[in-house]
Amino acid sequence: MTADFTALVLEEEGGKVRASVKALPVASLPEGDVSVAIAYSTLNYKDGMIVNGLGRMVRNYPHVPGIDFVGTVEESASPAFKPGDKVILTGWRVGEIHWGGYAQKARVKAAWLVPLPAGLTPVRAMAIGTAGFTAMLSLMALEEHGLHPSAGEVLVTGASGGLGSVAVALLAAQGYAVAASTGRPELHGYLRDLGAATILDRAELVPSPFLEDGKPGQPLGSERWAGAIDTVGGATLTTLIATMKYWSSIAVCGLASGSELHASLLPFLLRGVNLLGIESGTCQMPRRAQAWERLTKELPMAALDRMTAIAPLRDVPKLASEILLGRVRGRTVIDVNA
């Protein structure tokens, strides 16, 4: 290994977090049994929060953020990996309490790594990244609760974002009738191109007709959705709960509009609606590997390429602010060596 590597470093001063690209000595890497030369990381909503010092997810500064990466094993004290192996990391609080992927090098636990599936390039692995992996976990949870393409329309909220874009493409490729909710009219064509059959303006869901002064009001609306992948939360989720079909499920995976939920229990008791919590970070290894295998086989790679932009490490601070404002379209791969 060379003595230094480049990383995006967060430092805290007077309660404010500042990000800058710096050279760090290899000796500064945290403990772990596998050292990885990173090729790419990505931009996720959580990265936006961490780089901007929000959410109190980072315990100690200076800190190297980046909640996912793909790279090549350089050194391994674990029999599970050897130098030259290509590996993916998402979750396990890497980039939060452990140094992460916005760097040319990382040292992590072998138990956190997934071998790069055959047939998936490193850049596409990170085009999928945490957001796309979570989209697949959401689809898997919905299917396990009975969703199938003939059940009816499936709604994806926050559809032009990273998780939402992968969810739209994935569902459409499986033959689902996908409805995509977005606040960006200029991206309707983009969403249709990914496979959305119907586009909803997010204003159709919020303000929620099922809230009165922020409290649950009328509990039920007309049944519409056979399933939903909700990346937005808040009042959007209130509307979804009240308009789901009998025995249908919502994969609750995001909070882009808020983390509070005010809703009546009646849709659960009178229509058998399910809320399925999705947590990608601690997803156990067999399911993790299964999700990556399915993504490799089932996600249309041409659609993935269309939703993906590549940016250099130095652009992360700017992009981290933009993603919090809902201004980033699809997925952004971060080239840590550019």
Ligand X SMILES: NC(=O)c1ccc[n+]([C@@H]2O[C@H](COP(=O)([O-])OP(=O)(O)OC[C@H]3O[C@@H](n4cnc5c(N)ncnc54)[C@H](OP(=O)(O)O)[C@@H]3O)[C@@H](O)[C@H]2O)c1
Enumerate binding residues for ligand X (CB under 6 A): 44-46, 130-131, 134, 158-164, 182-184, 202, 231-232, 253-257, 278-281, 323, 326, 328
Nearer to ligand X, 32 or 233 (CB): 233
Residue 12 corresponds to which tokens in the numbers above? Answer: 């805290």
E strands in 66-144: 68-76, 86-90, 105-108, 114-115
CA dist 314 and 37 (Å) reads 18
Nearer to ligand X, 22 or 188 (CB): 188
CB neighbours of residue 63 within 10 Å: 26
CB of 291 to ligand X, least distance (A): 12
CA dist 52 and 93 (Å) reads 17
> What letter represents residue 338's amino acid?
A
CB of 76 to ligand X, least distance (A): 27
CA dist 26 and 63 (Å) reads 14
CB of 129 to ligand X, least distance (A): 8
Q: Calculate the CA 178 to chain-centre distance.
A: 19
CB of 156 to ligand X, least distance (A): 9
Q: b/e for 19-38, b at 16 or more Cβ within 10 A?
A: bebeebeeeebeebbbbbbb
CB of 159 to ligand X, least distance (A): 5
Nearer to ligand X, 252 or 336 (CB): 252
Nearer to ligand X, 24 or 159 (CB): 159
Nearer to ligand X, 37 or 131 (CB): 131
CB of 157 to ligand X, least distance (A): 7
CB of 231 to ligand X, least distance (A): 4
CA dist 261 and 158 (Å) reads 17
Q: Which residue is nearest to ligand X (CB)?
A: 161
Nearer to ligand X, 182 or 248 (CB): 182
Nearer to ligand X, 37 or 94 (CB): 94
Q: b/e for 149-178, b at 16 or more Cβ within 10 A?
A: eebbbbbbbbbbbbbbbbbbbbbbebebbb
